[in-house]
Structure 1
Amino acid sequence: MDKPELTEFLSAEDMETILQVTACSSETLRPVCKSDCLSKRYRTITGHCNNRENPLWGAANTPYTRWLSPEYEDPRGAPRGWNPQHTYHNYTLPPVRSVSQEVLYTHNDNISLDVSLSHLLVEWGQWIDHDLTLTPQSPSTAAFKTGADCTHTCSRDTPCFPIQIPLSDPRTGTQSCMPFFRSAPSCMGGSVPFGRREQLNAITAFVDANMVYGSSDTLAIALRNLSSPHGLLAVNEFHTDQGLGFMPYLPRTQPHLDPCGPREVVSPETADKQNTTMGNRSFCFQAGDSRANEHLGMIALHTLFLREHNRLAEELHKLNPHWSPDTLYQEAKKILGAVHQVLTWDHYLPHVLGRGANQVLMPPYKGYDPNADPSISNIFSTAAFRFAHVTVHPVVNRLGPDYRLNPEHPALPLHHSLFASWRVVQEGGIDPVLRGLLLSPAKLQTADQMMVEELTERLFQAQGGLPLDLGALNLQRGRDHGLQGYCSWRELCALSAPTNESDLAGIMGNEVLAKKLLHLYGTVKNIDVWVGAISEPALPGGRVGPLLACLIAKQFKALRDGDRFWWQNEGVFSPAQRDTLHTASLSRIICDNTHIQLVPSDPFTRTLHPDDLLPCTHTSITHMNLLPWREPDSDPVCGAVPRLRLGFSVLCNSAVIYQCPTGYLLHGATHVTCDPNTHQWTPQPPTCQDIDECSTSSICPPHLQCLNTPGSYTCTEPVAPPLSASSIVASVMTVLGGVALIVLFLACYQRLFLRRAESKPECCQKKS
C-alpha cells in the first residue's frame, strides 16, 4: 500500500491554519513587496522586501544562514555532546562546565585593564548585537517525552539540554546540573523529516536600530505615542530622569512579582501600595528588544536612544510642520538607523578589528549588491560576536557629575546590576551609569585572564535560584546549533588549521593554554569554535584574533553590501544629508539627551583622567545639522508644492502624498504628481473634511448626548430644549397662580383665627 500524502489528511485550509498558529507563515510564505514611493523610501519594520528578488533575506523570524554545514550528533539534529559517550575523532567532548572552569575562569581581582579602550566599547558591542540577533528558545519549558520541567531536571530530553556539573566542580553537592533550553527550530527545513535542523533569528538582520523600534508591526505601534502629533515614542508616565524621559513600564506578569524591582523582600501591603501608584506596572521597561532590562548599561543605551528619536522628531517637525506624525516617526527612525551604521562601521569596528585588518577586510563601499545575502550567519550569532564576553569588567562604576565615585550611588558588583531597572529610577537616572562607561576601562583579555567569575559563577545570582555560567552557556549553545569545530572555521577563513599541540601553541602564542585545551578535548579537531577563537591573541591595534576578525568582518561586509537602505547607497539620502550623517557623534548624542556636560571626543577610547574630558560646547563635539532634511516648498518644474490648509503632506520624488489628521477624511486624490509637459500638479489636491462621529450609533453611552467637534466628538449630558414665548407665559402664570393661592390661604386662616377669638366667653377673654 502506498504511503498516503499529507494532503489526504489535511486540507489546504487546515495547512494554512497550522502555518498561522505556529508562526511558520512568516518563514514560508513569500511576502508581497509594495512598489510605491514610500516603500522605496522607508524600510519595513520586519525587514521584509529589503531585497526585491529575495524578500526574506535579513527579515525577522527567518533562519540563520550557514557558512559551513551543521554537524549534529545524528540525522535528527541532536546537539554535539547529547550523548556524553559519543566520540568525535576517537575522543568524547568535555563537559562545557569543565572547559569554563579550567580555561575561562578568572578571579574578579585578577584582571588586567585595557589601556586604550573604554567600557562603552564593550557595551556598544552588545547593543549592536541586540540590533542583529535574537535566537528564540523552545517555547516549551517541559520535556516532550516525560513532561519534566527543564529547569529542574538533569535528564536530556528535548528541549531540555542541561549542563552537567562534573564531580571536580566546586558546585558539586549544591547542584547536579544547570538548566539549558534548546533553541527553537526553524520551520523551513528545520525539523525532521523535512530537513536539517536550523535555528531562527527573531529580529531583523540589518543595522536599523530595531532594538529601539521593534521588529514587528504590533510592537512598533505599542512603542509609539500615538496621541503625539510629532511622531514620538512613548515615555514613562510615572517617573522622569530630572525632566527627561524613561522608557515605559511593562505590566506585571504576576501579582507581587517584579523581576526588575528591588531585591529585598516586599510585603504584600507594600506591593499593593506600589501597584496602586504604578497602575500594576513592574519596574521592567518596555523597549524594541526583550533584553532591554538585562543590566544597567543596556538600560542606559535604550533610554538614550529613545530620547534621541524624540529629539530628532521634534527638530524635524520644526523644519517641516506639514509632515504627518507617521512621516516624522519614519524620518527620525531612518536617521537613527543610519547613525548606528556610521558609529558601528566608522567608530567601533576599527577598534575591534584593528585599523590595518579593518582596511583589508572591509574595503571601501561600492554600492548595493543585490546578490549579497545580509542574513545573520549561525556562526556569527552563536560564537563570533560573543567575543566581548571576555572583556567585561566585574564592577559597574557609577560616577557623579565630577566623574568621581559617588557615595550616594556606589559601584556595584556586576551581578547586582542585572535586571535592576529600579536602580536607574531610584538611584540617579542613567547619567551615573553613562559616566561610568565613559571613564571606566574595559577588561583586557589575555590567555590566563578570560572570563570573570561574575559571569562564570554569579550570573543572575541576585535574581534568586542557582547562578548560571555564561561561558558554559556559550559553549552549550554552539553544540546545540551544530557548529563545526575550531579547525574547520580556520580553514574557511584560509587560515592554517593546527594538527597538534605545537601548532596550537604557535597559533595561540601560549603553550600552557594549548596544553589545557588538548588535555580537555584530546584532539585539536574537537575544540569548540568559540573557546578556540577567543583564545587567539589580538591583531595589532585590535581586540580579536585572526579567526574572529575574519568571521566578524565577513558578516559586517554582508550587512553593508546587502542592505538596500545602507546610508551611503545612492538615493537613500541626499549628498547633503550624507555629509551630515558622516559627522554623527555618540558623545554629541549623550550631550543632547542627558544632563552630562563633559564627554570625551571619542567615547570608545579610554580617558585616563576627568580633566581630559571636553565640555559639550566644544567645537569637536559636533552637532548634526538637520537643515538638509528641510523639504523644499517648490518644484523646479511645477512650482509651489500644493499643501493642505488642514492636513499633512510629504514630497516623495515628484509626487506629493497627502494624509489627514485623526478625525478627518481625505476627499480627493491621495497624491498629486508633477506633469513635466503641462508644468502642473495633477490631479487637484484633496481636502480633509471633518468626520461626523455622532452619525455612528451608540458611539456614546445611552444616557449621554454626542456632540461633533472638529476632528473629534464629545459625550455630554443632554440639554433641555429652549422654551417658547407661550411656554414662558404659561410658566409665569402658573407661578403667579401658586402665589395667589398661598395669599388666599393665609387670609382665610387669619379670618378664621380672629372669629374663634371673638366667640370665647367674657371671662376667658379677660384672662387672655
Structure 2
Amino acid sequence: MLTYFSQFLSHEMSFVPQYQEQVSTNYGVEHRTPKCCGVYNPHKECYPIQVLYQDPKYTGGGCMEFVRSLSVSYTSSVCHLQLLGIHREQLVVSTSFIDASNIYGNSEEVARKLRTEEGNGAKLLVDSHSSYLLLLPRDVKECRSSDRGCNNRCFIAGDTRSTLTPAISSLHTLFMREHNRLVDLLANKGWDSETLYQEVRKIIGAMFQHIVDKHYKPLILGEHYVKEYDKPYFEYDDTINPTTYNSFTAAAFRLHSMVHDWIKRKDVPVEGAPNLVHDYFRQDEYCDLSTDPVTRVLIGITQQRAQKVGYYFAHDMRHYLFSSSRNVLGHDILATDIQRGRDHGLPGYVKWREWCKLKPVTNIEELYSEMLYGAVEKLQMIYRHIEDIDLIVGGLIERHVPGGLVGPTFACLIARQFKTMKYGDRFWYEHLNFPGAFTQAQLNEIKKTTLAALICRNTDEQYIQRDVFRPVGNNNPLQPCQVINAEAQLDLSHWGALILY
C-alpha cells in the first residue's frame, strides 16, 4: 500500500508532460509523441537512450524511445529566453499543493466534467452500468482487457494516469466513493449543490493532507527529518514559494524500486497473481464484477510487503515497462529515470549532498560508509568520476536514515518539498485563521481520519490493520472494520451552518 500510495501521491504533486507535436489528420489536429528510434531525422526534442550491444536483454543493442519534458521555451511569452542564453526549465501542469487535484482535476474545466448533472451536481460521476460504484470509463486505445467488451476503456478522473495499474485505479475509486458518501450524509444541510460539492471537496482534501502528513510522511522520512522540517504547530508562511522542486520530481520521489513484479489480490496466492506487465493499463479487474474489484486490489496490497528502496528493481520494471506482454520488450524504468534527470539538467549526486549540508565526499572510496552493501563497487564500474554520479543513482543506494525508507540525501529533498507544500499553503487543513477555514471542532473530526477507515467505509471488507502502510503483525493486528469505523467516524453535526467564502 505504501508503494502505490506513493505513486498516487506523486501523481497528485507533479505531472511533467513530454513534448508532443501537432499532426494534421483526416479527423483534425492530433498531438502525438514523436518517434525517436529508427528515424533518419529525429525530432529535436528526442533524447533516446542508446543500448549497448552487450546488454543481456536488449540483445544486439539499439535504442530506447525517450522524448524530452515539455519546457517553458515553447510558450510564446518566454521564447526569447533561449536567445538570451537562459537555461531550460520544465513545466509542471499539476497544482503545487497537496490538494487532491488528482481526484478533482487541476482546472475548473476538468472539475466540471467529473461532476454529475452536467457539471453542476454535488457528486462525482460513476459508471451507471456497474453494480459497484466505479469510475466512469472513457474510450482510450491504450487501455486494454482480455474481455473484448472492456477494451479501450480507461477511467475518467482528475489525473490522466488513473488507469496506469489496478492499484492506482482502486485508490482513485476509493476517494470518489468517499466523496459521494459524504455528499449523501450532508445532503440534509439545506445547501445548494455547489456549496455541498465544495464543502465535501474541502473535507476530502483535508483528509488526504492529514493521511500524507501524519501517517505517510513519517514512514518515508523517519523521526529525525520530520522533526527537523516540521514545527510543533502549523503556521502559514507567505514568504515560502511552494513550487515543486525539479530535484524532487525528477529524482528524489521516484521510489520505483519499491514496486514488485506483481500486484497481490485478496484471497489470490502469489502464484495466481498476474505479472506486472499484464496489469499496465489493464481493465480485467473491473470487468469481472462477481466481487468488488476495489476490495480485491486494496486489501491485496495491504497484505503485500513492498520491496526495499535501493538498487534492485523488479524484472518487469526494468525490461517490460508499459509493454503489452513479456513477448515484447518495453522500457527500463531506471534508465528512463536517469535520462529524465539529465534531461532536466539536475546537478550530480555529490552536489546535492553539499546542498543538504551532509558529510562531504571527495572520492568514491569515501562512499563506503554512506552506501548500501555492494553499491560502491557498482559505482566504480559505471562512473569515471564521483561528480558524474546521477542524483537518482546516488540517492537510491544510500543507507537509509533511522526509521525511514530512504537515505539522507533523498530524505532532505523530500522533507524540504513537503515543508514548502505545507507551510506555503494558505489553504492547508490545519490553518484556522482565514475566511472559509475549518473550525477547531471540524478540524478535530478531520484528524480522526485514517486510510484504513476510508477502506472500511467504502468497501465490503470486514477486517483490516489500523496502519495499512505497515504489514500485519503483533504491533499492527487485524481489527474489525466496525471498530475502525467507530474510531474514525466524522461527527457531521459540526458542519451545521452555511460557510461563507
If the length of structure 1 is used for normalisation, what is the TM-score?
A: 0.59
1:249-648 to 2 correspondence within 5 Å?
Answer: 249-252=137-140, 258-263=141-146, 274=149, 282-318=152-188, 320=189, 322-386=190-254, 388-400=255-267, 405=269, 410-426=272-288, 428=291, 429-446=293-310, 450-462=312-324, 466-510=329-373, 512-571=374-433, 572-608=437-473, 612-618=477-483, 621-631=487-497
Amino acid at match of 2:102: M
Match of 2:14 among 127, 133, 154: 133
Q: CA deviation at 1:466?
A: 3.7
* Matches of 2:118 and 2:36, distance apart in 1: 44
The sequence identity of aligned pairs, in percent, is 33
Partner of 1:682: none
Q: CA deviation at 1:565?
A: 0.2
What SS does structure 1 have at the residue aligned with 2:470? coil
* Matches of 1:483 and 1:133, distance apart in 2: 17
* Matches of 1:193 and 1:486, distance apart in 2: 30
Distance change in 2, residues 1:506/1:251 (3 Å): same
Partner of 2:52: 166
Amino acid at match of 2:333: L
What SS does structure 2 have at the residue aligned with 1:507? coil
Distance change in 2, residues 1:283/1:580 (3 Å): same
Match of 1:183 among 49, 69, 74: 69
Partner of 2:3: 122
* Matches of 1:228 and 1:169, distance apart in 2: 52
Structure with the larger strand share: 1
Equivalences, count:
480
Would the aligned equivalents of 2:236 and 2:423 in 1 still touch at CA under 8 Å? yes
Q: CA deviation at 1:328?
A: 0.8
* Matches of 1:608 and 1:418, distance apart in 2: 31
Long gaps (5+) in structure 1: 1-119, 253-257, 267-273, 632-649, 654-768
Match of 1:246 among 118, 123, 134: 134
Which deviates the most, 184-193 or 480-489? 184-193
Would the aligned equivalents of 1:367 and 1:570 in 2 still touch at CA under 8 Å? no
- 1:56-95 deviation digits (Å, cap 9, x = unpaired): xxxxxxxxxxxxxxxxxxxxxxxxxxxxxxxxxxxxxxxx
Distance change in 2, residues 1:211/1:531 (3 Å): same
* Matches of 1:148 and 1:652, distance apart in 2: 49
Amino acid at match of 1:438: T
- Say whether residues 1:203 and 2:70 are aligned partners: no
Larger-Rg structure = 1
* Matches of 1:141 and 1:230, distance apart in 2: 35
* Matches of 2:78 and 2:388, distance apart in 1: 27
* Matches of 2:303 and 2:388, distance apart in 1: 40
* Matches of 1:172 and 1:593, distance apart in 2: 44
* Matches of 2:224 and 2:260, distance apart in 1: 27
- 1:6-59 deviation digits (Å, cap 9, x = unpaired): xxxxxxxxxxxxxxxxxxxxxxxxxxxxxxxxxxxxxxxxxxxxxxxxxxxxxx
Q: CA deviation at 1:174?
A: 5.8
Q: CA deviation at 1:140?
A: 1.9
Partner of 2:27: none
Partner of 1:698: none
Distance change in 2, residues 1:129/1:361 (3 Å): same
Partner of 1:219: 110
Distance change in 2, residues 1:509/1:399 (3 Å): closer
* Matches of 1:353 and 1:406, distance apart in 2: 30
Q: CA deviation at 1:406?
A: 9.6
Distance change in 2, residues 1:454/1:141 (3 Å): farther
Amino acid at match of 2:456: C
Amino acid at match of 2:450: S
Amino acid at match of 2:257: V
Amino acid at match of 1:483: L
Distance change in 2, residues 1:282/1:178 (3 Å): same
What is the Cα-based RMSD across aligned positions, in Å? 2.5
Long gaps (5+) in structure 2: 24-32
Q: CA deviation at 1:209?
A: 0.5
Moved over 6 A (4+): none
* Matches of 1:526 and 1:227, distance apart in 2: 54
What SS does structure 2 have at the residue aligned with 1:614? strand
Partner of 1:192: 82
Distance change in 2, residues 1:189/1:615 (3 Å): same
* Matches of 1:554 and 1:283, distance apart in 2: 38
Would the aligned equivalents of 2:105 and 2:157 in 1 still touch at CA under 8 Å? yes
* Matches of 1:141 and 1:151, distance apart in 2: 19
* Matches of 2:212 and 2:317, distance apart in 1: 26
What SS does structure 2 have at the residue aligned with 1:618? helix
- 1:256-303 deviation digits (Å, cap 9, x = unpaired): xx4322258x6xxxxxxx4xxx9xx83211110010011011011011
* Matches of 2:118 and 2:15, distance apart in 1: 31
What SS does structure 1 have at the residue aligned with 2:116? coil
What SS does structure 2 have at the residue aligned with 1:374? coil
- 1:404-425 deviation digits (Å, cap 9, x = unpaired): 6499xx3121111111123223
Partner of 1:664: none
Amino acid at match of 1:262: S
What SS does structure 1 have at the residue aligned with 2:214? helix
Partner of 1:659: none
- 1:488-547 deviation digits (Å, cap 9, x = unpaired): 11111001232112212222153x321221221101101000010011011111101110
If the length of structure 2 is used for normalisation, what is the TM-score?
A: 0.90
1:59-78 to 2 correspondence within 5 Å?
Answer: none
Amino acid at match of 1:585: T
